[in-house]
Amino acid sequence: MKLMVIGCGGVATVAIYKCCENPLFTEILIASRTVSKCEALAERLRPMTKAVITTARVDADSLESLTALMNEFGPHTVLNVALPYQDLTIMDACLACGANYVDTANYEAEDTDDPEWRAVYEKRCREKGFTAYFDYSWQWAYDERFKASGLTALLGTGFDPGVTQVYSAYALKHYFDEIHYIDILDCNGGDHGYPFATNFNPEINLREVSANGSYWEDGHWVETKPMEIKREYNFAGVGMKDMYLLHHEEIESLAKNIPGIKRIRFFMTFGQSYLTHMKCLENVGMLGTTPVMFEGREIVPIKFLKALLPDPASLGPRTVGKTNIGCIFTGVKDGKERTIYIYNVCDHQECYRETGAQAVSYTTGVPAMIGTAMVASGTWAEKGVFNVEEFDPDPYMDMLNKYGLPWVVDENPVTVE
């Protein structure tokens, strides 16, 4: 099976490493903006796999550049692990070239000052009641076109979004008649030793974390100020941590796909030092996405900040500790209320020793490979645009155990107030 992977950062490194362990993928093309990174990774992986690995330069913002490369290589499936800004262009290229599409993050506009985009965004804010710069409407709008072309697009197969929704489908299938409450808890107990760094792409990460929070309740969105809602939780493998309610993309698809759901919240852990640094950067304008003039040339503050911060791909050797990501579900089974917690604990140093990347890239890259394998093998074969919870979770859950992200079901967990 011919797979084309677009992007060659932290997440891609793990996803491609894991694709090389899966005999389904016989030919892998790694295509990204900086081809030297693709070639360095290919050289490292060639001795450990039977897959034939080639590399190429591609500009994933250019439909022309993408279709030229896809027509030459002829991929069965394309895994997009570049940035959310490129999702729509890559989906267009897949339709033009007859390839299935897989990604790990939903579309986000790079230029949020673009008046055409802004008009659609402001209408959506009014109608739906949340102000995040991303939502699924852009990609769900491709459903008919993927159906008509006999192709599958699988959206958001990282950990969150991704595994959290597979856990939801699994809980619904095996533990509940109806799920009423979902709390998604994302804890990173890792320490990289820097005063401030982000664990994945800084621009995407800081945009997400500095935005308003929101949750889904009784059929509508409730929006909060950034970091307004704080809880403490004692995470298995990590210990007690502060966590904050954020808006997160899988809330939108779970609200649509889990019948009878009453509330979905997402919490992420942050240390005080991270929050203080972020607030300071925000206060001085360093998180801005609008270009400013500096010494005669335009710069985008958050892009300049990205250039100053440690490259997330370089955090692997220095990060110690564990992550714990999972979902607490409350609902009914056979007329009785029950609560379960499904989660994974992942160790930064073990991930690094195996793949050369830390656990945040690992917990995203492994599910990116698994989702790609579901589509490429025809295990998940329906045509159109889908989120992961719309398919049978069992084969995916089996692969999580097999490929390094084993999960635990706690049938008597502590809940979040």
Q: Does 10 bind ligand NAP (CB under 6 A)?
A: yes
Least distance between ligand NAP and beta carbon 112 (Å): 16
Question: Residues 11 to 30: which contact ligand NAP by CB under 6 A?
Answer: 11-12
The answer to whether the beta carbons of residues 201 and 283 sit under 8 Å apart is: no
Sequence-ordered alpha helix ranges (H) in 201-260? 202-209, 249-257
Cβ atoms of 207 and 226 within 8 Å: the answer is: no
Name which position in 3, 4, 5, 7 contacts ligand NAP (CB under 6 A): 7
Q: Which is nearer to ligand NAP, 300 or 332 (CB)?
A: 300
Q: Which is nearer to ligand NAP, 156 or 331 (CB)?
A: 156
Closer residue to ligand NAP in complex, CB, 190/331: 190
Q: Quickly list H helices, 129-267.
A: 137-140, 143-148, 163-174, 202-209, 249-257
How many CA within 13 A on the CB side of residue 408?
14
Q: How far is the CB of 34 from ligand NAP (least distance, A)?
A: 4
- Return the half-sphere exposure (C-beta side, CA atoms, 13 A cut-off) of residue 288: 12
- Examine residue 160 and tell whether it contacts ligand NAP (CB under 6 A): yes
Q: Taking the complex as a whole, how short is the minimal distance between the CB of residue 172 and ligand NAP, in angstroms? A: 20
Distance of CA 10 to the CA centre of its chain: 12
Q: Which is nearer to ligand NAP, 325 or 330 (CB)?
A: 325
214 closest CA partner among 206, 227, 223: 223
Q: Please tell me whether residue 106 binds ligand NAP under the rule CB under 6 A.
A: no
What is each CA distance from 41 to 37, 38, 79, 210, 366, in whole angstroms?
A: 6, 5, 16, 33, 16
- Check residue 179 for interaction with ligand NAP (CB under 6 A): no
CA distance 171 to 327: 10
Distance between CA atoms of residues 171 and 333, nearest Å: 11
Cα 206 to the center of its chain, rounded Å: 14
Using the contact rule CB under 6 A, the part of the chain among 55-63, 234-242, 260-268, 406-414 near ligand NAP is 55-63
Q: How far is the CB of 53 from ligand NAP (least distance, A)?
A: 16
> Is residue 32 near ligand NAP by the rule CB under 6 A?
yes
What are the structure tokens assigned to 30, written together? 């790694």
Q: Among 16, 42, 56, 58, which residue sits at the site for ligand NAP (rule: CB under 6 A)? A: 58
Instruction: Find the binding residues for ligand NAP in span 287-346 (CB under 6 A).
Output: 312-313
* Encoded amino acid at 235, one letter: F
- Could you tell me the two tokens for 323? 């992550």
Least distance in Å: CB of 160 to ligand NAP?
5
> Residue 161 burial by CB count (10 A; 0-12/13-18/19+): exposed, middle or buried?
buried
| CB-closest chain residue to ligand NAP | 9
Q: Examine residue 86 and tell whether it contacts ligand NAP (CB under 6 A).
A: yes
Toward ligand NAP, which CB reaches closer, 49 or 205? Answer: 205
How far apart CA 115 and CA 417 sit, in angstroms, is 41
**Between residues 149 and 364, which has the closer beta carbon with respect to ligand NAP?**
364
Is 111 a binder of ligand NAP (CB under 6 A)? no
Q: Work out whether 84 is an interface residue with ligand NAP (CB under 6 A).
A: yes
Closest to ligand NAP by CB, 160 vs 183, is 160
* 3-state SS class at 17: helix
Q: Which of 26, 34, 137, 290 binds ligand NAP (CB under 6 A)?
A: 34
Which residues contact ligand NAP by CB under 6 A?
A: 7-12, 32-34, 37, 58-61, 81-84, 86, 104-105, 156, 158-162, 200-201, 204, 312-313, 364
